[in-house]
Amino acid sequence: MSREVKIHLISESKSLVNSFFKKTIHNLPNNDSLISSGITITSIKTSDLKFFPQNSALENTVLHFWDLSIDSSIPQSIYPLFMTPNSVYLLLLDNFNQNEKFWLKLIKTHGKSSPIMILKDKSKGVFSIEEKSLNLEFPLIDNQFINVNFDDDDDKGIVDFMENFAQLLMFKQNKCIIELQNSWLLIKEAIFKETEQVKFISKKKYKQVCYDKGVYNQTDSELLFEYLKNLSIILFFKEIPFADIYIINFSDNSSNLCWLIDGINRILTSKKINNGCLYWRDLDFMLEDDEEKNIYDTKDLYYILELLILLNVCYEIDKGCYLFPNKMPSDFVLSLPTNRSQTCFIMQYNYLPFDIISRLMIMMKKDIIDDQYWVYGILLKSHNFSKLHASINPEAVNDVTALIIADPDNKQIRITVYGPDRYRRHYFQVIWNHLHDINKKYDDLEVKELVPLPDRPDKLINYQDLLGYELHNIKKYPVLQSYRNYLVSDLLDTVIDNKKVNKKEIVINNIVNNQNSESQVEYEKLQKDVLKLINAISEKISTLPNNEDEKKLKSILNNTSNDLENIESPTYKKQLRQFIEMLQSNPHITNLVKFIANGPDKVNAIIDLYNHIM
């Protein structure tokens, strides 16, 4: 049996990671390649670590250190490909390289319930971070803040780190240590052999390898599959249609990893990308036989592009046409008439995701006017809308355009729609609905909607307040900055059709949409509580008297946890319902819950919340 742990080294400084290795590893393997550029993998045993406490339970445990420090040769956007759950995250900070919240949010998203340790190198100067607030916001840190000095002979910080690291591995084994049985090790080696000349194997071939090595049980083969995914030996994403299994062999100096990163890099730096767009036909340079560069066939290119789409690095806006938002023009000169009627609306964000404009662009691609788009904005005109209303007033309808601009500094998106009143407001609602759908895709995103005063466009008032006034038939809205009251109907008429019946309907729909956001909070709390309970039950599984029962339940809980990670999944509600039923009917789970602190109370609270929401 082999016990293996994947450890992510996260830092904005490559030299900081190199200092960590020099300070902690007895004999650096392949010292030159270890400190080279790019993502590197260093596999050692616990006995190779300096100051690691002697512990028979952890002896010969294999540690796979993935160096994910920032490197100019690696696009930062691809790092999530290699950030996996059931592992350990070490975040290395110093006086010049911090940005800890950005990385912790990324770890929280991709590492799931993986433990986190933060090492603060004081060798380049003393600095402080908000440990208390970080610990509250990211509880998986669990107060693991350790001061070290990589440039000093004093090893106290490293000794403290090693003691805490050993304790973490001991007490959180089920969250980070992966145990591979001997038959599973044979399967791993067979997979490596199968991919000596190719990069992929099919799922059918994987199952055949398992069968050939004596693993006939589907539950065991699927559990091993998940383990190998967590170690990043296997890259497989069910979101990519008809995808095979991509294999990364740690023992061959990660040539497959280099092949993948090089392919991504060559696409992202290609001069074939024009105004942010790349066409499939222009990727022929990747197919050329060049002794100095990796060669890719059409299947390889399809896989790499699908990975980039999965990471939101690019989007397929038309068949064979891919949009790369960060490659779009950074600026654009527009000439818009100033004497036309307009609707203005501002969305104020707590943080502004970079790709909102590009997502809107894809949704409304047919409305873009003469390729007038750039990284922070887009000019639109609705052709479908024009066809719908052309019989009423063709000239008026054709005169409706919209300008949407993102302001990263002020964390705002400004929507300005030009044209005759009725048609302008209709088109605004179309854009508003699209942006509302996009906003719901981001975690922890808070959006305040604002409307400028008609006579003082620099003064903004809360749109949701106006909707509430209208719904309760309050006629006037007091604005202290202007020392006057405004008619609610006049303020809303800038964005909502002035037909009362239509206005009332839109007001109610908009308020319901806002209330749905509150329901989403309850929905996410239920998801969080369920995943915590699954982890707690998993920690108690080893107490089951029957090994087969233990193995089967472990597989069920592991699959359930993976299925419930994505709240947007079409099968999420079904999987959630099945787990709630298991809580009430599965005798093994019922017994294990009794050994969890306040276990029965937690189960009852989850069931009550589920019944309330559903």
Q: DSSP string of 432-483?
A: HHHHHHHHTTSTT--EEEEEE-SS-TT-EEEHHHHHHHHHTT--EEEEGGGT
Calpha distance 286→298 (Å, rounded): 9
Q: What's the rounded mean pLDDT across residues 211-220?
A: 90
CA distance 485 to 482: 8
Does residue 217 sit in the same domain as residue 358?
A: no
Q: Output the domain CATH number for residue 490.
A: 3.30.310.200
Closest CA to 127 of 138, 119, 117, 135: 119
Q: Are strands 401-407 and 412-418 parallel, antiparallel or unpaired?
A: antiparallel
- The pLDDT score that the predictor gives to residue 208 is 93
Q: Is 335 a residue whose pLDDT tops 70?
A: no
Task: Answer yes or no: is 337 within a domain.
Answer: no
CATH code, domain carrying 131: 3.40.50.300
Q: Determine, yes or no, domain membership for 213.
A: yes
For 579, half-sphere exposure in the C-beta direction (CA atoms, 13 angstrom radius) is: 28
Q: Are residues 196 and 168 in the same domain?
A: no
Residue with the bigger pLDDT between 389 and 27: it is: 27
Give the structural domain span for 54: 2-179
- Residue range 324-334: average pLDDT? 80
Q: Which two tokens stand for residue 104?
A: 């912790």
Q: Are residues 565 and 576 in the same domain?
A: yes
In a domain, 434, yes or no: yes
Does residue 163 share a domain with residue 30? yes
Residue 503 in domain? no
Domain identity same for 482 and 583:
no
In a domain, 504, yes or no: no
The residue among 473, 498, 523 that closes a domain is 498
- Residue 503: its pLDDT value, please? 52
Phi, psi of 244 (to 5 degrees): -90, -175
Residue 335 lies in a domain: no
Render 67-94 in DSSP notation, one character per residue.
E----TTS-GGGGGGG--SSSEEEEEE-
Q: Give the distance, in angstroms, between the CA of residue 119 and the centroid of all CA atoms in the same chain.
A: 24
Q: Would 336 be classed as within a structural domain?
A: no
- Give the three-state DSSP class for 50: coil
pLDDT digits (tens, 9 = 90+) for 402-444: 999 999 889 999 999 988 877 888 888 889 989 988 888 877 7
Among 248, 267, 270, residue whose Cα is nearest residue 257: 248
Domain final position from 119, 154, 179:
179
CATH of the domain at 278: 1.10.10.2200
Pairwise CA distance, residues 446 & 348, whole Å: 8
C-alpha atoms less than 13 angstroms from C-alpha of 572 in its C-beta half-sphere: 14
What sign has the CA pseudo-torsion 247, 250, 252, 255? positive
Helix (H, G, I), strand (E, B) or coil at 245: strand
In whole angstroms, what is the distance from residue 272 CA to residue 358 CA? Answer: 19
Q: Report yes or no on whether pTM surpasses 0.85.
A: no
Residues 403, 266 within the same domain: no
Q: Give residue 48's identity as a one-letter amino acid code.
A: D
For the segment 40-68, the average pLDDT, to the nearest whole number, is: 88
| Residue that the structure tokens 């750039």 belong to | 374
Kindly state whether residues 147 and 222 are assigned to the same domain. no
Residue 303 has pLDDT above 50, yes or no: yes
Q: Give the SS3 label for residue 373.
A: strand
| Rounded distance between C-alpha atoms, residue 599 and residue 532, angstroms | 11
Which token pair is 545? 């008297």
Reported as half-sphere exposure (CB side, CA atoms, 13 A), residue 310 has a value of 19
User: Which of 433, 369, 439, 380 lies closest to 404, judged by CA?
Assistant: 380
Whether 232 is in a domain gets the answer yes
Q: Say if residue 140 is in the same domain as residue 28.
A: yes
End residue of a domain, out of 146, 179, 212: 179
pLDDT band at residue 488 using 50, 70 and 90 as cut-offs: confident
For residues 302 and 208, state if they share a domain: yes
Assign 155 a pLDDT band (cuts: 50, 70, 90). Answer: confident
Are 297 and 400 in the same domain? no
Model confidence at 352, pLDDT cuts 50, 70, 90, reads confident
Q: How far apart are CA 91 and CA 162, in angstroms?
A: 15
Beta bridge partners of 581: none
DSSP letters spanning 415-432? EEEES-HHHHHHHHHHHH
Q: What is the pLDDT of residues 175-186, one digit of tens each?
A: 788 989 899 999
Please list, in sequence order, all residues whose beta carbon lies within 8 angstroms of the beta carbon of residue 412, skipping any fewer than 6 positions away: 346, 347, 348, 349, 352, 406
Q: What is d(CA 32, CA 14) in angstroms, rounded to the nearest whole number?
A: 14
Rounded CA gap, 139 and 148, in Å?
22
Residues 194 and 225 in one domain: yes
pLDDT in tens, 511-521: 545 545 445 56
Tokens of 514: 């806002």
| Long-range contacts at 362-365 (CB < 8 A, ≥ 24 apart) | 362/315, 362/317, 362/323, 363/434, 363/437, 363/438, 364/431, 364/434, 365/317, 365/318
Q: Average model confidence (pLDDT) for the chain?
A: 82
Tally the domains of the chain.
4
DSSP strands (E only) in 152-191: 177-180
> Is pLDDT above 50 for 251?
yes
Cβ neighbours, 10 Å, residue 134: 18
pLDDT tens figures, 506-563: 555 555 455 454 455 667 778 888 888 888 888 778 777 777 777 788 888 888 888 7
Q: Do both 241 and 372 map to the same domain? A: no
